[in-house]
Amino acid sequence: MGARARIAHFGGSFEDARVIALSEDGRILEVLGEHGRRLRFELNRASARFTAAGSAAGERLELLGD
C-alpha cells in the first residue's frame, strides 16, 4: 500500500492520491485523495482501467511509478 496514484476527473483535471487498500484479487483499490476524500476504484474488464466504483464513466485512477 501507499503507492502513488492520480485521479483523472471528468473534464481534464487531476488530483494526487495514495493507495490505502487493495482487494485480495487486486480488482478493487481504495485511495485517499489530496483533500482527504476516500474513493474506491474497480478494474473495468472492458477497458482494463480503474474507474470509480459503480461507474463506467467519470473518474479514472492512474497508478504512478516512484
pLDDT at residue 15 greater than cutoff 80: yes
Mean pLDDT of the chain: 89
In which residue are the cell numbers 473518474 written?
59
Give me the pLDDT at residue 11, please: 83
Measured CA to CA, the distance from residue 52 to residue 66 in angstroms comes to: 23
Reduce the DSSP state of residue 19 to 3 states and report it.
Answer: strand
Q: With pLDDT > 70 as the criterion, what percentage of the chain qualifies?
A: 91
Q: Look up the domain containing 36 and give its range.
A: 4-63
Reduce the DSSP state of residue 27 to 3 states and report it.
Answer: coil
What is the count of structural domains for the chain?
1
User: What mean pLDDT comes out for the span 36-58?
Assistant: 85
